[in-house]
Amino acid sequence: MRKAMWVAAAAGVVLLVAGCGGEGGTDKGGSSSAGSSATGGSGSGGSSDQKLDAAAVTKELTDAATGAGFTQDSSGEDVPEALKDCMVSWTADAEKAADPKKSYADTVTALTGGGWTEARSSELQGSVIKSLTKSTWQLQASNHATGPLKLVMFVATDASPECEAVMKAENAKQKKS
């Protein structure tokens, strides 16, 4: 059951980013739609010789988040085995951060300084969700740490055709079970 939720979450992240690309609104720069990133590139990580893999994305996230004062929440769920090359999830232990809002902002700043491009940002009732892209990767950085539940998550998915096919196959498997 939890695998199904992860696959659905991964697909939702891809759809969320893909669905908001060219409509204007809060896009920054207009060059970060899913179509352009899937073909190799918006932002500075877009050339084919700089293709990111899950390990590199994990390292960048870990370095940015821990450098901003977060520790990783060890109780967060693992990414299903079939998606390990296509998805990265990093949950911060927001309860232990001195100032989760500042640590979140500093993490996003470190990521954008490292070549991630902010595509969209939304804020609703104190929660902030930012969409970032680099190479074929799309990252949802969400901060829901203003209320009683302190939740800060970073979920990245590779929007390459290969990974989209893997996610689609995993979703189909989960629907059958």
Q: Which residues are paired to 92 by β-bridges?
A: 72, 152
Q: Distance between CA atoms of 143 and 164, rounded to whole angstroms?
A: 26
pLDDT at 90: 96
Query: What distances in angstroms separate CA 34 from CA 37, 72, 83, one per listed residue?
Result: 5, 28, 19
| Terminal CA-CA length for the chain | 9
- Note the pTM of the prediction, 2 decimals: 0.73
Task: Judge whether 152 and 144 are in contact, CB under 8 Å.
Answer: yes
pLDDT at 148: 81
Q: Point out the residues of the chain with pLDDT beneath 70.
A: 1-50, 77
Task: Judge whether 117 and 29 are in contact, CB under 8 Å.
Answer: yes
